[in-house]
Amino acid sequence: MLKSAQKTIDRAGFGRDEPEWHAASVPVPYPDALKAMERRVAGIETGESSELIWLLEHPPLYTAGTSAPESELLDPAFPVYQAGRGGRFTYHGPGQRVVYVLCDLRERGRDLRAYVRRLEEWIICVLGEFGIQGERRGGRVGIWVDHKGREEKIAAIGVRIRRWIAYHGLSFNVNPDLSHYKGIVPCGLPDFGITSLHALGIKATMAEVDKAFRKHVSIVFES
């Protein structure tokens, strides 16, 4: 899987001003994705590879960010991986669109906080395509919606920076099994829920979601 994925994402892209896009056709094991991203980051740093947006799904698993305490892993029913990104525990699995964004911040302001806000705005615009109002919340990275009077998270963000190359990215819930979140305290926030497009009554396909991400990608890659 790793060699196949790396061969695909190492193709020449569209140049320095536009990222390359790749959508994986099968779920990608998490360790393979990490190794592929590390190699791509090295290529971006040297100018041998273009920036990349990698759309994929993972098999069911949990990842631990650099701030994740062991106490927030409640029931490890799935494999648990150290992600190296910021944040705490999160879940990945089928029905969730993971968007790994490999972005050269040397060319785009060297401002991590501004970059995260651009990722948030990207998600908000994608949700708007489906008639959903996504919102930021102070002190809580990610995007939230009001679902039957309760604040629920629909998209998570976790970023890592290496020599001003950003990687990892975001996860966007299209139609995952939301019961799988019960094995962790998602993002360290026990008092809030998790939702998805389908749980909100929007029966969008993954292809339709991908199209919306493509439509609004300039938000992320502005200089």
How far is residue 187's CA from residue 156's CA, in Å, rounded to a whole number?
8
How far is residue 221's CA from residue 211's CA, in Å, rounded to a whole number?
17
Which amino acid belongs to residue 47? Answer: G
How far is residue 212's CA from residue 216's CA, in Å, rounded to a whole number?
7
Angle between helix axes 2-9 and 30-46 (nearest 10 degrees) is 30
> Hey, is 66 helix, strand or coil?
coil
How far is residue 150's CA from residue 166's CA, in Å, rounded to a whole number?
32
Identify the H or E element spanning 158.
strand 150-162
**Known active-site residue 125:** no
> What's the gap between Cα 208 and its chain centre?
17
Q: Out of 187, 212, 217, 220, which one is annotated catalytic?
A: 187
How far is residue 217's CA from residue 223's CA, in Å, rounded to a whole number?
13
How far is residue 151's CA from residue 110's CA, in Å, rounded to a whole number?
32
Q: Which residues are catalytic?
A: 187
